[in-house]
Each structure stands twice: as C-alpha cells, then as structure tokens.
Amino acid sequence: MDSDQDWTTLPNEMGQEGPKYIMVFCDGTGKDGENLSREESPTNVYSLYKFAEELPERVDVEGGPFGKVAYYVPGVGSRLHGTAGLLAKLHGMAA
C-alpha cells in the first residue's frame, strides 16, 4: 500500500475483501447441535447458526458490501465420552 494513500479508502478499493460480520454461536455445557441422535432436536443455538449459514455471502449496506463468517462452538464436554466427558460436563456446570 502506498504510504501517501488516504486511510479512509474502502477496503475493496485497496484490493481487499472488505468488512465482515463475524458471528460466533456457542452452545451450552454438554450440548452439541451437530452430533444428534434421531430422537434429539437441534439446540436453539445450532438452529440460529444454520440460519446464519443460509444468509447471502455478501450484503450491500450503506458504505459498501459486507461479508459474513459464521462459526459454531459445541458446549463443554459434548465431544468427550466416558469419564472424561462426565468430568468436563460437571466442571462446566460448576463454573
């Protein structure tokens, strides 16, 4: 980038992607919306995450286009099994 360039230049004019909405969806202790049995329904957090994934990749708003990044984080202990999973879930509930 040229040192004389004005810092008010929009990112897409500088050859960059531009601003993004960053959405992080964190599920509760022991909850994992991705790994469900047939009887379980998705958590509300996971449902919101899936909805956000379906939004358009770029949205035009005042000032230029915005991108989006959506990331899902399963709950504490949800991916551990046996004693390790039980201890992680108990510790998460106690914190």
Tell me which residue range forms the domain holding 71: 18-94
Position 66 scores a pLDDT of 86
Position 95 scores a pLDDT of 45
Is 69 inside any structural domain?
A: yes
Position 94 scores a pLDDT of 46
Is 46 inside any structural domain?
A: yes
Is 13 inside any structural domain?
A: no
CA distance from start to end of the chain: 47
Is 7 inside any structural domain?
A: no
Is 64 inside any structural domain?
A: yes
Position 41 scores a pLDDT of 82
Two structure tokens written together for 62: 């005042």
Q: Rounded to an integer, what distance in angstroms lies between the CA atom of residue 31 and that of residue 51? A: 18
Query: How many structural domains comprise the chain?
Result: 1
Give this prediction's pTM. 0.61
Cα-trace Rg, the chain:
20
Position 11 scores a pLDDT of 56
Is 6 inside any structural domain?
A: no
Is 9 inside any structural domain?
A: no
Position 13 scores a pLDDT of 60
Position 51 scores a pLDDT of 94
Return per-residue pLDDT of the chain as tens, 95 residues. 555 555 566 655 655 667 888 999 998 867 787 776 677 788 889 999 999 999 888 888 777 788 889 999 888 767 665 565 556 556 655 44
Helix, strand, coil % over all residues of the chain, rounded to 5? 30, 20, 50
Is 1 inside any structural domain?
A: no
